Structure 1
Amino acid sequence: MRKLFGSVRSRATLGASLVVALALVAAGAAVLLALRANLTDQADSRAAATAREVALQLTTIRSYADLELPDDEDTPVQVVDEKGRLVAASDDLEKISGTGTDEVGPGSAPSAKPTGGDEEPGEPGESGDDEASESGEVSDDDPEYSSGTATVDGESADFRFAAVEVSTEAHGDLTVYAGASLSAEQSAVSTALTSMLIGFPLLLAVVGGVTWLVTRRALRPVAAITEEMAAITASEDLARRVPEPDTHDEIARLARTTNETLTALQNSVERQRRFVADASHELRSPIASLRTQLEVGAAHPELLDVDGAVEDTVRLQELAADLLLLARLDAGEKPGGKRVDLAAFVREELSQRTRDRVQVDADLKSVEVAGSRGQLARVLGNLLNNAQRHARSRVTVTTRGEGAWAVLEVSDDGSGVPESERERIFERFVRLDDARSRDEGGAGLGLAIARDVAVRHGGTLMVREAPSGGALFELRLPSPQSSAD
């Protein structure tokens, strides 16, 4: 069962069928109730009309024998006096329930008035004037309705009965019960119910089938995407892409997003491979140089270049530190939230630089940032080292606040960076001047580390042309006040 309903197509079909089934049951019940109520109201109206016709006759007749009752088997009638005695009833009435009395025929009812003395209540009287007419009043109140059964001429059926009260001078107070057959109502309801019992399952089958087919067609691209992803996983070929359906729905967006993810993953893997290859290459040079010097020193101590060995060791140490920092940044290391006064921080860092080749000018305005002091020191140091390598005679450092941002700029008066290369220089192991020596140019990690640190701090690092014609690196970091707001 779990396997059967484990697919989206099965669950969608089941869900749609259940919703439609509930809607059909609710609608069918409402229709049947409305139909039954409507037909019952019609039966009530027919029964009330018959009862009032009989009641009007009772106001004018002298004897119950003159009462003309409907001879229709669908309209049984009873007339009951104020004492609850049946005084008149339909001729073929054999059995009845749901009215004021279960009697089907008058037990004894006077047919003529006595010749002398006072008239007895409830008896029709005869006077010397046979042409005289009696009078009475039919109640204007709404009839009372009830449900019951009756057997007329051997046919039993359900009826709705209307009770109408009438006051007559000749017969006193009477109640007329007239019935209207519910056969038409029962037949109509039965026909509607039968139609629903036949039609609803067919409609559910159509809804389920259409939902199944539409869902299968809609999910066909998902099957293709799943198959291709499985093939990519098995082959480890990140250059492959999943098929994108020519639609504008969620599945098409899923396919595009999946391909974008594969592209990003492929680029990340390729960048990681290049990083490992470049790191191995960069490490190989100082290690080989250091090994050569140590081997020469071991064979000929007088030829050992201690300064060169120390320089290679320092370079190796710095490269290892850069690689370790990049690994921590790639792992998502948080910079922390310690507040740093940028102007005081730059002054302290500049005071520790004693081997700079050219002069460093500073125009510092106090502005605070939040982050890792060690990582910010690495950014400033890398920018200053880059400027020292390319400057002719001067390097300038400035700090200032611009609204919600703290800005640090490092510029030089060197040859600058070509506009087409201004993004490439932030890639790892990139050196624009391939002809220069590695000792002078470094490993090509400084600017990459600086931008990564800037991004981790929620800021940016960009390069543009300085007023002196060289390169101007602008570091923007959010101020703590803007972060708090």
Structure 2
Amino acid sequence: MAAYHGGGEQAEQGSSMGIRRGALPLPRSGSIRVRVTLTVAGLSVLLAGVIAAGLCLLIRHRVETEIFNETRRVASEWIGSMRRDHIPPPAPTARVPLVQLTDSQGRVVLANPVAGEQPMSTVRPTSDDRFQDVTECSGDRCVVLTAARVPSLQAAEIWQGEPHYVYAGTDQPPALRGHRLELLVGASGAVLAALWTWTTWRAAGRILRPITAIGQRMSEITAHDLSLRVPQPPGRDEIARLARTANQTLDRLESAVTQQRHFAAVVSHELKSPLAGLRAGLEEALLYPEVDAREAIAGALPVTDRLQQIIDELLAFARLRNTPCVSEPVDLGALVRAEVAARGGEVPVHARTESGLWVLGSRVQLASIVTNLLVNAQRHATSKVDVTAEPVGAQALVTVLDDGAGVAEEDRERVFEPFVRLDAGRHLDPGGSGLGLALCRAIAVAHEGSLRIEESPRGARFVLRLPLLTDVSPGQEAASGSTAV
């Protein structure tokens, strides 16, 4: 694998656009605003109807109760003042202007002038229930009155036992006549329901306006222009969080598309050069008979080998991005020891590992990272390569350190980009594809870890960090041990 190679650059995130001013389209019948408003309107009408009915009953009962209390008082006081030798004239009040005394035949015995000569009611209370509250209507006039029976002892003393009745009443208040009270309260309830509905319509429109603006902006975003962002309202409510999440998703999408475009351009460029050379060699063999065909084919084989290498690594790179790896507990310390033991070459590799470095991942993919790092380190090292594997907090730390020239600080991220090859890498490995370190970092990220070049006194220090697996069976732990190679 080529040393210090990498791939595509990330584009800057597109700037957010402000909310466009202007009239919003009217909501359709299936919109949330219409459904919410209709629901609230129905509930408002139902609630207003219940409140209106209850209020009508309460008002009517309260008014009639006050009137009947007063009519009973007037009737009781007049009956209490009657004597055998003297029946005083009726004593009406401003609230009870109608007072009459009738006999058992319904004839008016005594009444105040306003009450008239006709009996106000035909109700005859019994001796067991001396008071009855009624409303008598005749034509357009209704009278609210109390019919009171004179006590039997008092009637026997005054009229030799003939029953007599006292009627005390007043004209029905205008609000209680007919259905005026119901109409008035019903109209008030309708106005209240309409006010609730209108308030809900306005409030729903105000709440949903940012969502409408978000929808309009999302419809303007295309694959050719991913720089637009949805308007983000202030606050921390659900709509604000939705807008922030949408913008974060658009940021990631724009970055991914930018990387994909750049990656496709770089791949095209990398494949174009060897393909052009291969075509030129083959065309030369066809056009010029003096060119040896076997030599032309032999010269084309290295080019096809390089193309095959690039395509294989591209397939591995794409498979890693699109297909989740099969995870299993892996003893990272044992894996590093095995890879170091398998290495040969002129530059020796010294390893120091610790036991218990269990991580969750693909053994094959993790081994490819260690192998690639060891190959790069041996290629650039002067005399030795040091490898360590140890736990640091909740992470497993693998360090590969060579004593070569190292990597300049400004190039420490570029080497992980696909197809990026520094001058030293091109010189030491002319046939490399430039995908090795990019593939290593992609594997590390897929395992929720990281791969970076960190500071070192001399040479390049590659550091792989992976999360430790805490839930490991005792048998697996016993199989791992601390070893130096």
Structure 1 and Structure 2 fold alike (TM over 0.5): yes
Deviation at 1:14, TM superposition (A): 2.9
Between 436-445 and 157-166, report the one with greater CA deviation: 157-166
CA contact (8 A) 1:364 1:398 kept: yes
The correspondence for 1:271, drawn from 249, 259, 262, is 259
1:27, 1:181 → 2: CA distance? 29
Between 421-430 and 369-378, report the one with greater CA deviation: 421-430
Say if 2:254 is the partner of 1:281.
no
CA RMSD of aligned residues (A): 4.6
The correspondence for 2:351, drawn from 350, 355, 362, is 362
Q: Which amino acid counterpart does residue 268 of structure 2 have in structure 1?
A: S
Aligned ranges 1:106-185 → 2 under 5 Å: 146-150=132-136, 157=142, 159=144, 161=146, 168=153, 171=156, 180-181=169-170, 183-184=172-173
The correspondence for 2:399, drawn from 401, 409, 414, is 409
Q: Which residue of 2 aligns with 1:323?
A: 314
Aligned ranges 1:449-464 → 2 under 5 Å: 449-464=439-454
Q: Which runs of 5+ in 2 are unaligned?
A: 1-26, 112-116, 473-485
CA contact (8 A) 1:150 1:157 kept: yes
Say if 2:33 is the partner of 1:46.
no
CA contact (8 A) 1:98 1:147 kept: no
Question: What is the TM-score when the length of structure 2 is the normalising length?
Answer: 0.70
1:319, 1:12 → 2: CA distance? 59
* Number of aligned residue pairs: 430
1:477, 1:260 → 2: CA distance? 26
CA contact (8 A) 2:397 2:463 kept: no
Identity, % of aligned positions: 33
Say if 2:228 is the partner of 1:241.
yes
Q: Deviations over 1:96-131 (max 9, x none)?
A: 366525xxxxxxxxxxxxxxxxxxxx9xxxxxxxxx
CA contact (8 A) 1:407 1:477 kept: no
Deviation at 1:479, TM superposition (A): 1.1
CA contact (8 A) 1:44 1:162 kept: no
Q: Which has the higher contact order (CA 8 A, sep 6+)?
A: 2
Q: Deviations over 1:405-436 (max 9, x none)?
A: 33322222233344444434333223344883
Say if 2:119 is the partner of 1:94.
yes
Change (3 A) 1:176 1:468: farther
Between 444-453 and 419-428, report the one with greater CA deviation: 419-428
Deviation at 1:398, TM superposition (A): 1.7
Aligned ranges 1:242-391 → 2 under 5 Å: 242=229, 244=231, 248=235, 257-286=245-274, 300=292, 303=295, 315-331=306-322, 333-354=323-344, 356-366=345-355, 367-391=357-381
The correspondence for 1:10, drawn from 13, 18, 34, is 34
SS of the residue corresponding to residue 369 of structure 1 reads strand
2:308, 2:372 → 1: CA distance? 15
Q: Which residue of 2 aligns with 1:29?
A: 53
1:41, 1:423 → 2: CA distance? 90
Q: Which amino acid counterpart does residue 52 of structure 1 have in structure 2?
A: S
Q: Which amino acid counterpart does residue 258 of structure 2 have in structure 1?
A: E
Q: Which runs of 5+ in 1 are unaligned?
A: 102-121, 123-138
Q: Bigger radius of gyration, 1 or 2? A: 1
CA contact (8 A) 1:144 1:164 kept: yes
SS of the residue corresponding to residue 96 of structure 1 reads coil
Q: Which residue of 2 aligns with 1:394?
A: 384
SS of the residue corresponding to residue 390 of structure 2 reads strand
2:416, 2:131 → 1: CA distance? 94
Change (3 A) 1:12 1:224: same
SS of the residue corresponding to residue 436 of structure 1 reads helix
Deviation at 1:42, TM superposition (A): 0.8
Q: Which amino acid counterpart does residue 225 of structure 2 have in structure 1?
A: L
1:175, 1:209 → 2: CA distance? 61
2:249, 2:131 → 1: CA distance? 75
